[in-house]
Amino acid sequence: MTCEIDGKVYTYDDDTIFVVDVGREEKGGYVDRRYHGPYPNDAVFAYRGINIGNGYKKRLRIMYASGTVITVARYAS
């Protein structure tokens, strides 16, 4: 299956997981997961629905069953 996110086409299958992470500070890690599931539309909706500010950051990643992780989008305030 394929999906288009921000003009780029990504392939995925039933074992692929879409993850939306939220973190704080530039040097800190991402700890809070807002979405963790198999549907790209829900992941993009969750990513775009997060309002961040005052040092927060967010990212949208695709985690394949092979262990490959792709960061599709990220934003930091």
Domain spans, the chain:
2-76
10: its two tokens: 């990504």
- In 3-state terms, what secondary structure has residue 17? strand
Closest CA to 58 of 27, 24, 21, 32: 21
Residue with tokens 């969750």: 46
Residues 26 and 76: beta-carbon distance below 8 Å: yes
Comparing 60 with 77, which gets the higher pLDDT?
A: 60
Q: How confident is residue 39, by pLDDT bands cut at 50, 70 and 90?
A: very high
Determine the pLDDT at residue 58: 92
For the chain, give the percent of residues with pLDDT over 90: 71
With beta carbons less than 8 A apart as the criterion, state whether 42 and 16 touch: no
Residue 27 has pLDDT above 90, yes or no: no
Q: Which residue has the tokens 């500070």?
A: 25
